[in-house]
Structure 1
């Protein structure tokens, strides 16, 4: 497991990434305007089998009242990071889920696409990385909105990748997931870092707080995860609000531009109302995600630093992010080239530790020590260098 020092060393940078851009602290941890919507529907959601945290219960009294505790150190002091998504517990099974407030106007095809990939035989296909739709029901007194229920997932890049093998497997699953969507003529059209997430089965033995993932559920101490090598995880593509499924008989579908979380799409610049190849745009999105989060770091987000040593991916990523979408490889070619790259990496490279760009000496020394302790154990026990999940 990661040491407490490892977790603390990442705290200052990760907190910046987790907080939304429009985040404004509420005095004394009071409810935000968007949270009041969830409080209003607390009983309705419970009647459907979903238990929200005590913060949203009728008559909630904050736990730090008449104490000297700081509200951000309390479990019920953590407000929502995304106003339209809330965590909950499925009462019959005790499993953690996320409930999304969907505007049918903004995401008219989202539920249909999710149902398509959540139905057999596609649901159990090993290449399917579409987040499963567990449940859906209407928002009361509002025909334009819907509640969608999905498994609770974790940011794909936290904790930091311990080895190149862990990072390469993450990227491989990202490519595989997009290939599966395109095979079924679905373009995501908003595949950015916020819409690619990770399950955490057994990775956090004591769990983590759903709104403050760096901490344990009670917010008393730091969450201490196993590495991905110890607990291989599956990654999922989420948020199909911009997605569309095109006519299977149309070999070259076109669509108008649709801005999402990544606004750097070259073909959208100087756009004059024309149409674009949505599948080529998806390829750009994936290539740019890999470039900014694994290779170079994000030009606008200092907390997203990237890693040293991933230059072996640059030829492929440069091709995927070419300004002319016609010159980009299709996702099938990108997957084939990625498989060839992985096959050419030695086991020593895959087991080598990652090093974040702009890291400091204290982070480096701590990471080296714990990395080698794990590495020796993995080699001795024959733990695979590429941590692929069994499902």
Structure 2
């Protein structure tokens, strides 16, 4: 019997097997006008406005997944497949989004679909304990080192491309729209990623983080130092600016976001610097956002970290 995988959404059913692919309801066009008449189906309302993504349920086990449309054989799908295959898939430092399945479109061989776990943004909901942040920082920085060791420059590892896996905390699943959480960080969206046998200079200004100072269409720069800047900038914008008592991150953030790329640490050096910081922070337990201060004080809470 051929291998067979089916994915169900309220808009369409997509099936794939090793001998034949069948595409019912237009998954090749995730914004199909025909589907727009199904107002009684909640999945007609898109998740974040990305026509190349849709949530679905894997029918074999009810697992909530994302299906992403890509160009067949493009760099993103090649790198994602490499990182999701043995021996890299079982490497503990590999925190990239795993590819559960990949198949081609029936009607257009230039289009393929990657099936991934359904993940959430790192602040939906926000972290509440110091241990959560320590775990997050460990995973993100060791994941950056892992990519560097295998020659992968992400080039877009910004806030919206770093997700959390809620499956461990919610084994019975959760609604794809409602707010749930857990802590297992994942790096995703490898559309700008490249594999380099050794350090090399690149050009280009694409990417969500436009604060990277060296981005240029004309002057070559080191893509691995760009990754270091983006992660440091994410720590600053998403944690230092939003939470209290995060001054302990300042030395790390400053070194990772130096304007001169040559003055920034490597991924391995940034991880080592973080590991020296976390020895102290491992004992702390509570994170409070600046917007929560009034409520916390009225509620009688004495500490921010304790």
Shift of 1:143: 3.5
Structure 2 match to 1:71: none
> Would the aligned equivalents of 1:242 and 1:258 in 2 still touch at CA under 8 Å?
no
SS at match of 2:89: coil
Structure 1 match to 2:46: 79
2:39 to 62, 69, 81: 62
Which has the higher relative contact order, 1 or 2, with Cα contacts under 8 A spaced 6 or more apart? 1
Q: Are 2:260 and 1:324 aligned? A: yes
1:322–1:260 distance in 2 versus 1, CA, 3 Å: same
> Would the aligned equivalents of 2:54 and 2:66 in 1 still touch at CA under 8 Å?
yes
Alignment of structure 1 residues 160-175 onto 2, 5 Å: 160-175=126-141
Q: Please state which structure has a larger fraction of its residues in helix.
A: 1
Larger mean CA deviation between 42-51 and 111-120 belongs to 42-51
Structure 2 match to 1:154: 120
Structure 2 match to 1:361: 294
Structure 2 match to 1:300: none
Q: Are 2:185 and 1:235 aligned? A: yes
Alignment of structure 1 residues 86-97 onto 2, 5 Å: 86-97=54-65
> Would the aligned equivalents of 2:201 and 2:223 in 1 still touch at CA under 8 Å?
yes
2:68 to 92, 97, 100: 100
> Would the aligned equivalents of 2:243 and 2:290 in 1 still touch at CA under 8 Å?
yes
SS at match of 1:266: coil
TM-score, with structure 1 as normaliser: 0.66
1:275–1:132 distance in 2 versus 1, CA, 3 Å: same
Superposition RMSD in Å: 3.3
Tell me how far apart the structure 2 counterparts of residues 46 and 123 of structure 1 sit (CA, whole Å). Answer: 23
Shift of 1:358: 3.3
Shift of 1:287: 0.3
Q: Which string of whole-angstrom CA distances, capped at 9 and with x for unpartnered residues, describes residues 275-298 of structure 1?
A: 1100000000100010000102xx
Q: Which string of whole-angstrom CA distances, capped at 9 and with x for unpartnered residues, describes residues 164-194 of structure 1?
A: 2211211121101111000101000111111
SS at match of 2:51: coil
Structure 1 match to 2:6: none
Tell me how far apart the structure 2 counterparts of residues 123 and 236 of structure 1 sit (CA, whole Å). Answer: 13
Tell me how far apart the structure 2 counterparts of residues 83 and 321 of structure 1 sit (CA, whole Å). Answer: 33
Q: Are 2:280 and 1:336 aligned? A: no
Alignment of structure 1 residues 71-220 onto 2, 5 Å: 75-76=42-43, 78-81=45-48, 82-103=50-71, 108-204=74-170, 207-210=173-176, 212-214=177-179
Shift of 1:361: 2.3
Tell me how far apart the structure 1 counterparts of residues 244 and 130 of structure 2 sit (CA, whole Å). Answer: 10
TM-score, with structure 2 as normaliser: 0.83
Q: Please state which structure has a larger fraction of its residues in strand.
A: 2
